[in-house]
Structure 1
């Protein structure tokens, strides 16, 4: 095996990972172990791991080792919204969708703050540039710490206060249930999906390499009277998320 280049070594390790050889520990052998096994220099091993990290196959974690990245896709159907509109649920849309697939999903609260609307967000919420909003940040995880989505959401201040979305904690049962309980029942949701390379901060939070494309989602939610209730923007690795737009109406009136 001696004399292999780092790209050949990366291919060999990729094949072994895909075959499930390291499924037990969910991480590669140490650099020293790989050096002994392949008779390769430390830099060759490091470069091979770098290739795998950049493509999103592994995640080097300091003082832990090189972890095998979970690439199991999570299917998230549009119908997840309708299932959680009624108040009193204990699971939000993400938790409902993951539970249906036998996954232990959790929406983790990160932060909440009052901000002034930028021009783009103000226009989507039918507000004036600079109006006060509530900005919430959260992460969609698979237990215990596998971050699959980063979500940011903005709400008109009065609506957020009425629904308790300005509080510094998680919204149990999801935002839609909280909005409904406050008299602002969501009626329509329009989503726009795109794709791009991740920023350095996104790659770090999602534990992906720079070559893993991320999906970007922007959702605008309105009530029955057409009032905008929420602007949500989410980012997720394209190899982890499957957005399913189920049972859409087709044809004319």
Structure 2
């Protein structure tokens, strides 16, 4: 796999942020400083910073430059088309509990291609609206081969580079095809509590599965959104 220079610079900055060298609110090196340190053009250095900005890792601050984001953002489940930036459609979120190994529901196990009774690693979060009220509850399930090769998935520390990039760096595998299936049902007690809605509220459920180039599942995310907040818009040529 060929790594371009701007990608190498961006990954170096991600690693330094993840290691705590730059904390939320800290300013990262300027494009000029990066260009000098890496012996590249300023345009290449700026392109590296743009990668981090598009992923929501840094934001522009007038008179300062680019600073590490104070509030982590994540996208709702699904709609992970090639070229889409993490910050587009991203929302602030709260992590729920700690990542844990659990037996996934049958629908998740089928999507991950694992047998009944096999445990998978689960990460949970609640995405929030601007007023901090819940928008959707998301459970991300990682199959054993991915979770064991990428141990930081089981930790509570944020993964500044994003789970997709981290998994790619650890395993060499990356999403080549995604499948989204949207259904409607009633919220479970746990889902209702996380979403601050009555038990039995109608919810839209988006099941997103990412596969690598060999068709092997990398992750399965299930996003649950109250019907009053769910909207799907498709624009297409006719």
TM-score (norm 2): 0.56
Alignment of 1:1-253 (within 5 A): 78-79=79-80, 82-84=83-85, 93=86, 95-98=87-90, 105-110=91-96, 111-117=98-104, 119-143=106-130, 145-163=132-150, 164-182=152-170, 183-209=172-198, 212-245=201-234
| Residues 187-211 of structure 1: per-residue CA shift (max 9 Å, x gap) | 1111111122323433332223468
| 8 Å contact from structure 1 (residues 109, 169) kept in 2 | no
Deviation at 1:109, TM superposition (A): 1.9
Change (3 A) 1:120 1:201: closer
Deviation at 1:79, TM superposition (A): 5.0
2: CA distance between counterparts of 1:118 and 1:236?
18
Deviation at 1:244, TM superposition (A): 4.1
SS state of the match for residue 83, structure 1?
coil
| 8 Å contact from structure 1 (residues 113, 136) kept in 2 | yes
Q: Give RMSD over aligned pairs.
A: 3.2
SS state of the match for residue 234, structure 1?
strand
Q: Which runs of 5+ in 1 are unaligned?
A: 1-73, 85-92, 99-104
Change (3 A) 1:126 1:197: closer
| Residues 198-251 of structure 1: per-residue CA shift (max 9 Å, x gap) | 234333322234685211111111001100111111111122232345669x9x
| 8 Å contact from structure 1 (residues 75, 241) kept in 2 | no
TM-score (norm 1): 0.53
Which position in structure 2 is the counterpart of 1:34?
none
Aligned residues: 161
Q: Which runs of 5+ in 2 are unaligned?
A: 1-74
Greater strand share, structure number: 1
2: CA distance between counterparts of 1:192 and 1:225?
21
| 8 Å contact from structure 1 (residues 135, 155) kept in 2 | yes
1: CA distance between counterparts of 2:148 and 2:110?
20
Deviation at 1:124, TM superposition (A): 2.0
More displaced, 215-224 or 105-114? Answer: 105-114
| Residues 105-164 of structure 1: per-residue CA shift (max 9 Å, x gap) | 213222201224555433322223222321111111124631111011211123123333
Task: Specify the structure having the higher radius of gyration (Cα).
Answer: 1
| 8 Å contact from structure 2 (residues 209, 219) kept in 1 | yes
Which position in structure 2 is the counterpart of 1:6?
none
The structure, 1 or 2, with the larger RCO (C-alpha pairs under 8 Å, 6+ apart) is 1
